[in-house]
Amino acid sequence: MEVISPHRIQRLLFLNIVLLSVIAFPALAVNSTDNTFLSCLVNHSESSYPISSAIFTPKNDSFSSVLQAYVRNLRLNTSTTPKPFLIVTALHVSHVQASIICAKKHNLLMKIRSGGHDYEGVSYVAADPFFILDMFPLRSIEVDIATETAWVQTGATLGEVYYRIAEKSKIHGFPAGVCPSVGVGGHISGGGYGNMMRKYGLTVDNVIDAQMVDVEGRLLDRKSMTEDLFWAITGGGGSSFGVIIAYKIKLVRVPDTVTVFKVTKTLEENATDIVYEWQHVAPTISNDLFIRLILDVVNDTQKGTKTGRATFIALFLGDSKSLVSLLNEKFPQLGVKQSDSIETSWLRSVLFFADINISAPVEVLLDRQPKSLIYLKRKSDYVQEPISKAGLEGIWKKLIELDNAVTLYFNPYGGRMSEIPSTATPFPHRAGNLWKIQYQANWNQAGNQIGDHYINMARILHNYMTPFVSKNPRSAFLNYRDFDLGINHNCNDSYTEGRVYGVKYFNNNFNRLVEIKTKVDPHNFFRNEQSIPTLPLAKS
Ligand SMILES: Cc1cc2nc3c(=O)[nH]c(=O)nc-3n(C[C@H](O)[C@H](O)[C@H](O)COP(=O)(O)OP(=O)(O)OC[C@H]3O[C@@H](n4cnc5c(N)ncnc54)[C@H](O)[C@@H]3O)c2cc1C
Ligand SMILES: *[C@@H]1O[C@H](CO)[C@@H](O)[C@H](O)[C@H]1NC(C)=O
Ligand SMILES: *[C@@H]1O[C@H](CO)[C@@H](O)[C@H](O)[C@H]1NC(C)=O
Ligand SMILES: *[C@@H]1O[C@H](CO)[C@@H](O)[C@H](O)[C@H]1NC(C)=O
Ligand SMILES: *[C@@H]1O[C@H](CO)[C@@H](O)[C@H](O)[C@H]1NC(C)=O
Ligand SMILES: *[C@@H]1O[C@H](CO)[C@@H](O)[C@H](O)[C@H]1NC(C)=O
Ligand SMILES: *[C@@H]1O[C@H](CO)[C@@H](O)[C@H](O)[C@H]1NC(C)=O
Ligand SMILES: *[C@@H]1O[C@H](CO)[C@@H](O)[C@H](O)[C@H]1NC(C)=O
Sheet holding 130-134, edge to edge: 55-56, 86-89, 130-134, 109-113
Atom of ligand 4 nearest to the CA of 373: 13
For helices 271-281 and 389-401, give the axis angle rounded to 10 degrees. 120
How much is the pLDDT for 121? 98
CA atoms of 89 and 134, how far apart (whole Å): 5
Nearest alpha carbon, ligand 3 atom 6: 60
Quote the radius of gyration of the chain (alpha carbons, Å). Answer: 24
Atom of ligand 8 nearest to the CA of 492: 1
- Spatial CA neighbour of 399 closest among 320, 519, 298: 298
Nearest alpha carbon, ligand 8 atom 4: 492
How far does residue 112's CA lie from ligand 8's centre (Å)? 27
| Count of CA atoms in the C-beta half-sphere (13 A) of 343 | 13
Task: Provide the residue ranges of all domains of the chain, joining segments of one domain with +.
Answer: 6-134, 141-253, 258-344+374-468
Q: Alpha helix locations (H) across 74-193?
A: 93-105, 158-168, 184-189
Q: Establish whether the linkage from the previous residue to 26 is cis, with ω within 30° of 0.
A: no
Q: What are phi and psi of 424, to 5 degrees?
A: -65, -35
The binding-site residues of ligand 4, defined as CB within 6 angstroms of any ligand atom, are 68, 74, 77, 373
Cα 464 versus chain centre, distance: 25
Domain range 141-253, CATH architecture? 2-Layer Sandwich (3.30)
In contact, 368 and 287? CB cutoff 8 Å: no
- What top-level class would CATH report for the domain 6-134? alpha beta
Atom of ligand 6 nearest to the CA of 304: 5
Residue positions annotated with a catalytic role: 480
The binding-site residues of ligand 2, defined as CB within 6 angstroms of any ligand atom, are 34-35, 39-40, 43
Cα 132 versus chain centre, distance: 18
The binding-site residues of ligand 1, defined as CB within 6 angstroms of any ligand atom, are 72, 111-119, 122-123, 135, 154, 177-179, 182-183, 185-187, 189-190, 192-194, 238-239, 243-244, 479, 528
Domain 258-344+374-468 has CATH 3.40.462.20: yes
Burial class of 493 by CB neighbour count within 10 A (0 to 12, 13 to 18, 19+): middle
In contact, 86 and 41? CB cutoff 8 Å: no
CB neighbours (10 Å) of residue 35? 13
How much is the pLDDT for 539? 46
Nearest alpha carbon, ligand 7 atom 6: 359
- Spatial CA neighbour of 432 closest among 416, 414, 409: 414
Q: Alpha helix locations (H) across 214-371?
A: 222-232, 271-281, 320-330, 346-353
- Spatial CA neighbour of 125 closest among 88, 155, 84, 90: 84
CA atoms of 243 and 111, how far apart (whole Å): 10
How far does residue 393's CA lie from ligand 6's centre (Å)? 22
CA atoms of 281 and 263, how far apart (whole Å): 16
CA atoms of 454 and 460, how far apart (whole Å): 10
In contact, 353 and 260? CB cutoff 8 Å: yes
Q: Alpha helix locations (H) across 354-491?
A: 389-401, 416-419, 448-464
Summarised one tens digit per residue, pLDDT across range 434-465 is: 999 999 999 999 999 999 999 999 999 999 99
Summarised one tens digit per residue, pLDDT across range 467-516 is: 999 999 999 999 999 999 999 999 989 999 999 999 999 999 999 999 99
In contact, 150 and 119? CB cutoff 8 Å: no
Series of mean pLDDT values for 10-residue runs along the chain (540 residues):
38 45 36 66 96 96 98 97 98 98 96 98 97 98 98 98 98 98 98 98 98 98 98 98 98 98 97 98 98 96 91 98 98 97 98 97 96 96 98 98 97 98 98 98 97 98 98 98 97 94 98 98 98 77
Q: Alpha helix locations (H) across 282-373?
A: 320-330, 346-353
pTM over 0.95: no
Pocket test for ligand 7, best of 359, 362, 364, 371 (most atoms within 8 A of CB): 359
CA atoms of 494 and 489, how far apart (whole Å): 7
Q: Is the CB of 4 under 6 A from ligand 3?
A: yes
How far does residue 373's CA lie from ligand 3's centre (Å)? 27
Q: 459-472 as b/e, with b when 16 or more CB fall inside 10 Å? A: bebbebbeebbbee
Nearest alpha carbon, ligand 3 atom 5: 60
Beta-bridge partner residues of 290: 315
Pocket test for ligand 8, best of 492, 493, 537, 539 (most atoms within 8 A of CB): 492
Pocket test for ligand 3, best of 7, 11, 61, 67 (most atoms within 8 A of CB): 61
Nearest ligand to residue 38 Cα: 2
- Mapped onto helix, strand or coil, the DSSP state of residue 280 is helix
H/E stretch holding 295 = strand 289-300
